[in-house]
Each structure stands twice: as structure tokens, then as C-alpha cells.
């Protein structure tokens, strides 16, 4: 994932419109590196981070009980399966 995306998750308390922002860093050679960290926000309210391992198989969530395990699993699956739109440009992250 290069740019942030919006995702609506249905929770026990109703739908929440999340913004998922990947934490990417720029290497000294100018390339971008995906850190595997994704920040979750609802408007301006932080909802925690999901951090994946290098293979994007295992993940951890560091939020404070904003979501159930099943809800976070749905968000993690969305992130793992997300495909950037054609023409997505990491240089626009600067």
C-alpha cells in the first residue's frame, strides 16, 4: 500500500469509517520502504496501529480495545489483500 485508503468496518457499535495510512520511509537512495506499520484513524482520532511481519502473514494490533479481535482481523485481511490502483506513485508521498 502506497497511499492512505478509506475502509468502512461494521462493528458491534455500528460502522466506522477508517483511514488506513501506511508508514513508509524513504531510503537514502530515494526508494521507498514499506515498514509494515499501518495507522488506523477515525477522523482525527487514532485507533491504533496494525504491524505486519516481513511476509505480511502475522500481525499485531496495539489499539486500546477499540475493536474486537475479529474486527481487527478483517482490517488486517483488507490491508494484506489491498492492491494499489494502477499508476500509484510513491514519489507523491514526499
Report pLDDT digits (tens) over 21-43.
Answer: 999 888 888 787 889 999 999 98
Mean pLDDT of the chain: 88
Select the more confidently predicted residue: 31 or 89: 31
User: Element (H or E) spanning 70, and its range?
Assistant: helix 69-81
C-alpha radius of gyration, the chain, whole number: 14
Q: Where are the domains of the chain?
A: 5-75
pLDDT at 19 over 90: yes
Select the more confidently predicted residue: 61 or 25: 61
Per-residue pLDDT, averaged over 86-90, amounts to 67
pLDDT at 92: 55
20 near 79, Cβ under 8 Å? yes
Amino acid at each position: 500500500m502506497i497511499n492512505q485508503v478509506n475502509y468502512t468496518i461494521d462493528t458491534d457499535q455500528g460502522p466506522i469509517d477508517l483511514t488506513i495510512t501506511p508508514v513508509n520511509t524513504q531510503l537514502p537512495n530515494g526508494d521507498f520502504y514499506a515498514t509494515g506499520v499501518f495507522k488506523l484513524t477515525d477522523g482525527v482520532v487514532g485507533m491504533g496501529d496494525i504491524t505486519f511481519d516481513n511476509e505480511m502473514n502475522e500481525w499485531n494490533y496495539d489499539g486500546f480495545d477499540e475493536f474486537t479481535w475479529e474486527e481487527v482481523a478483517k482490517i488486517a485481511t483488507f490491508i494484506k489483500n489491498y492492491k494499489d490502483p494502477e499508476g500509484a506513485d510513491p514519489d507523491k508521498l514526499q
